[in-house]
Amino acid sequence: MKIGILGAGHIGQALARLLAEAGHDVGLSNSRGPETLQDLTERLGHGIRAYSSEDAARFGELVIETVPFGHYNDLPTAQLNGKIVIDTANYYPERDGQIDLGGLSESAFMARHLGGARVVKAFNAIQAAHLESQGDVSQPLEERRAIPIASDDDEAKAVVSRLIEEIGFAPVDNGNLEQSKTQQPGTPIYGREATAAKARELLGLH
Ligand SMILES: NC(=O)c1ccc[n+]([C@@H]2O[C@H](COP(=O)([O-])OP(=O)(O)OC[C@H]3O[C@@H](n4cnc5c(N)ncnc54)[C@H](OP(=O)(O)O)[C@@H]3O)[C@@H](O)[C@H]2O)c1
């Protein structure tokens, strides 16, 4: 599928490579324009293309939003309307500044900001280096590292779950966007290497 990525940092690069290797058509963007991404896209290979963030959002049937949370206001909201948007972000006040989430989870806040997007929280609780190295499609699902995933949209969640399996991890359904609070920084699952069974235990799921 066509996947647009907003953010070409640690997580954006890791997902671009993994998803392109899995056969997807990937477009990558940063805040400074496609001309600043030529060396990176050449190095990543697999036909990954450089776009502006607006064009990456337009290009993707599914879009991954992986910019530091404090930059949420710069996201191309109009182009994300109606699309499945994977939100990998974590809110760190010391990095992102004070943002009033109004008691919402970070991803529910993002979904409200984006309006018409079908937001799915995923890949926020794994370090980029581990995302790069720990996926293993040769392993059965129950032995793979788990990736918790949350959304208010079950169909979107199913699409993202398939992508997670394709890159060698095991998706664990962590409920809706409000419930994604249990995979935010400071929670037991955050940064933790766990199988799906262990992840469900750490997330308090039964
Ligand atoms: N690093 C990790 O291990 C990790 C793990 C899980 C989750 N996360 C979360 O995932 C998010 C991204 O983290 P990261 O470590 O990958 O960040 P990063 O390495 O700092 O990279 C951020 C990227 O976002 C780009 N960007 C900023 N504003 C943009 C915009 N409006 N449109 C398109 N691109 C934009 C930056 O482009 P420029 O370079 O042009 O400014 C840069 O390429 C954060 O919320 C982080 O907390 C990180």
Ligand 1: centre distance to CA 167 (Å)? 20
Ligand 1 center to 158 CA (angstroms): 25
Q: Which two tokens stand for residue 184?
A: 């935010």
Ligand 1, atom 29: closest residue by C-alpha? 31
Collapsed DSSP state (helix, strand, coil) of residue 74: helix
Tokens representing 103 are: 């008691």
Nearest to 15 by CA among 66, 49, 60: 66
Pairing of strands 118-121, 84-87: parallel
Measured from the CA of 14, which atom of ligand 1 is nearest?
A: 16
How open is the CA angle 17-75-117, to the nearest 5 degrees? Answer: 85
The predicted structure's pLDDT at residue 206: 77
Q: Which residues contact 184 (CB under 8 A, 6 or more apart)?
A: 90, 91, 105, 106, 124, 190
The CATH number given to whatever domain includes residue 137 is 3.40.50.720
Question: Atom 31 of ligand 1 has which residue's CA nearest to it?
Answer: 74
pLDDT value at position 193?
98
Residue with tokens 């805040």: 31
Residue 97's CB: how many other CB atoms inside 10 A? 10
**How many structural domains compose the chain?**
1
pLDDT confidence of residue 171: 98
What pLDDT score was predicted for residue 137?
98
pLDDT digit string (tens) for the chain, length 206 residues: 999 999 999 999 999 999 999 999 999 999 999 999 999 999 999 999 999 999 999 999 999 999 999 999 999 999 999 999 999 999 999 999 999 999 999 999 999 999 999 999 999 999 999 999 999 999 999 999 999 999 999 999 999 999 999 999 999 999 999 999 999 999 999 999 999 999 999 999 97
Pocket-forming residues, ligand 1, beta carbon under 6 Å: 6-12, 29-32, 53, 66-69, 71, 74-75, 88-90, 124, 127-128
SS3 for 142? helix
pLDDT of 139 reads 98
> Which pLDDT score is estimated for 120?
98
Confidence (pLDDT) at 71:
97
Strand order through the sheet with 170-173: 49-51, 25-29, 2-6, 62-65, 84-87, 118-121, 146-151, 170-173
Do 27 and 59 form a contact (C-beta atoms < 8 A)?
yes
Q: CA 164, CA 155: separation in Å to the nearest integer?
A: 15
| 151 bridge partner residues | 120
Nearest CA to ligand 1 atom 21: 9
Q: How far is the CA of 174 from the centre of ligand 1 (A)?
A: 23
Domain that holds residue 150: 2-202
Q: H-type helices in the chain, by residue range?
A: 10-21, 38-44, 53-59, 77-80, 93-96, 106-114, 128-133, 154-166, 196-202
